[in-house]
Chain A
Amino acid sequence: MTTPLKAVVPAVVVLMAWEAASQWRPATYGFFLGSPRGILAEVVAGIRDGTLLRHIGVTGLEALAGFAIGTALGTIVGLTFWYSDVAYAIAKPYLVALGAVPIFALAPMMIFWFGTGMFSKIVMGFLSTFVIAVLQARNGAASADRDLLRMARSFGASRRDVFVRIIVPSASLWVLAGIRLNVGMALLGAFVGELVSSRAGLGHLIIVAEGLFNVNQIWIGILGMILIALALQALVYPAERWAVRWS
């Protein structure tokens, strides 16, 4: 048996045991755990009537937009701090304070300010990713090889030259680490926003399913989140390949 096939064996065993347990005691195990067949039936129904894809699409779009805006703006701000240690010293306490606030605590205010639609979830995704992107980019810029900076300066490089040719590429591995973290953080931000108040999305699906004691639907919400996380990671992969090609 090949290794990929062997890797599937534990999943098959767990699914079979799970299905058997839910069939054996539907009122207890079936109620509390759901069942693989029940999940499959709900997935098929959700795809047929389009609701599942809509929920996945809404959460995916919120997470993607929050991730892209938060990471891009945060990276630009963080790299720009290389120009001024004073500006960074002033901004750092605020950034650390913002980063320390649990995203759950901000959610009610974001919903209050921006409504229950997608925009408030995008803002949540943005807030979840921005600080990480700033700190990663700034630390990456600050960790550039001082000898390379000296070398560039010996050729008369301006600060802009040094920034473009040395600082930005030097920071790329740090920025990339931030991007990897932010994929999950953006998804968390969007999801938390949906849990607090929403009209669509996987968070909405889960909170409704919880009210109906529909465990199979909750499982579908979780699986949908995993699917979105994997898709976002796949989007990041080309950037990762580019950034590490020389290391």
Chain B
Amino acid sequence: MSVRIADLTFTYPTAQGPYRVFSPITCEFQPGMVSVLVGPSGCGKTTLFNIIAGLEQPEAGHVERSSERIGYVFQQSLLVPWLSVRRNAMFGADLGNLTDGVYAKANALLSRYGLASFADAPPRQLSGGMQQRVAMIRALAAQPKIVLLDEPFAHSDFAMRRTMQDDISAITDEEQLTVLFATHDLHEAAFLADRILLLGGTPTRIIDDISMETPRRERLSSAPAAIAPVVERLWRSFEGVA
């Protein structure tokens, strides 16, 4: 076990009274796996991530984590405007007093993601996609055991998206990370996941839980055809509750 969620519920206060986001949700996420959460906007993916990261407290139920070292890539890049791109990339590592090796790794990622020439620039000089890449490096450089990726590629072009998908896949295997990835994109989910959780309904529950048959590396390196049946199944499941 790396992350275990048991009987989790969460309620938002609204003008019309409390709004219950989840039916009690129970699930586990294992290390070395990319688990993708898909579902419509507002179904609670971000709320679930915030609860796992300890930023929100559940109404009931509990979350167990095997490590407190979490790398969270938010929907917005949330870069610190007064720090340079490089200092932003090191932000999590600096907090954790990590070693020089981590800095070398972060610098290598800055180069790999085409950000080396902007390393000393303020974040406002970067495009939205570039800022999101810095946020990704910041999360990975903090040497996390659990990685939460909340629609991290929304602003990235297809080539950079593919590079980062490959990197996430590789680092998940190498460092046995527990990766949770939230997206609207069913193709991306079927492409990258070892396991897909489809969220939906009101309140939100897990509609479908698919373990991918074709290994992730195979899907990433070869035919998109392998993902078509999975996308089809996700659609059918979703239409069944919509």
Contact segment of B8-16, B90-98, B164-172, B216-224? B90-98
Smallest CB–CB gap between B57 and chain A, Å?
A: 13
Q: Find the A residue at minimum CB distance from B87.
A: A165
In Å, the complex CA distance between A4 and B61 comes to: 72
Please give, as numbers and ranges, the residues of chain A lying within 8 Å of B1 by CB-CB distance. Answer: none
Interface size on A, residues (CB 8 A): 18
- Given A147-B78, A166-B80, residue A246 in contact with residue B92 (CB < 8 A): no
Q: Within the complex, which residue of B55, B80, B91, B142 is in contact with A150, where a contact is CB–CB below 8 Å?
A: B55
* B74 & A156 in contact (Cβ 8 Å cutoff): no
* A155 & B142 in contact (Cβ 8 Å cutoff): yes
Q: Does A247 contact B (CB under 8 A)?
A: yes
* A156 & B96 in contact (Cβ 8 Å cutoff): yes
Q: Within the complex, which residue of B76, B78, B82 is in contact with A246, where a contact is CB–CB below 8 Å?
A: B82
In Å, the complex CA distance between A150 and B80 comes to: 12
Contact segment of B21-29, B65-73, B109-117, B176-184? B65-73
- Residues of B123-150 at the interface with A, using a CB-CB cut-off of 8 Å, are 124, 142
Q: Does A153 contact B (CB under 8 A)?
A: yes
Chain B at the A interface: mostly helix, strand, loop or mixed?
loop
* A246 & B95 in contact (Cβ 8 Å cutoff): no
Give 1 or 0 for each of A139-151: 1 = CB within 8 Å of chain B CB: 0000000011011
* B80 & A154 in contact (Cβ 8 Å cutoff): no
Give 1 or 0 for each of A228-247: 1 = CB within 8 Å of chain B CB: 00000000000000000111
In Å, the complex CA distance between A55 and B63 comes to: 70
Q: Does B122 contact A (CB under 8 A)?
A: yes
* B69 & A246 in contact (Cβ 8 Å cutoff): no
Please give, as numbers and ranges, the residues of chain B lying within 8 Å of A46 by CB-CB distance. Answer: none
Give 1 or 0 for each of A167-185: 1 = CB within 8 Å of chain B CB: 0010010000000000000
- Most A Cβ at <10 Å: residue of B54, B71, B95: B95
- Given A150-B55, A161-B95, A246-B122, residue A156 in contact with residue B69 (CB < 8 A): yes
Q: Find the A residue at minimum CB distance from B135.
A: A151
Q: Does A47 contact B (CB under 8 A)?
A: no
In Å, the complex CA distance between A174 and B80 comes to: 17
Smallest CB–CB gap between B70 and chain A, Å?
A: 6
Q: Does B48 contact A (CB under 8 A)?
A: no
In Å, the complex CA distance between A153 and B95 comes to: 10
Give 1 or 0 for each of A29-61: 1 = CB within 8 Å of chain B CB: 000000000000000000000000000000000
Q: Within the complex, which residue of B92, B122, B124 is in contact with A155, where a contact is CB–CB below 8 Å?
A: B92
The list of the 10 closest CB pairs from A to B, nearest first, reads A246-B82, A155-B92, A154-B72, A151-B78, A154-B53, A169-B82, A155-B95, A246-B122, A246-B81, A157-B95
Other than the given A155-B72, A165-B95, 8 more pairs (CB < 8 A) read A148-B80, A154-B74, A155-B70, A155-B95, A161-B95, A169-B80, A172-B82, A245-B82
Q: 9 A-B contacts, Cβ less than 8 Å apart? A: A147-B76, A151-B72, A152-B95, A154-B55, A155-B96, A161-B95, A165-B80, A169-B82, A246-B81
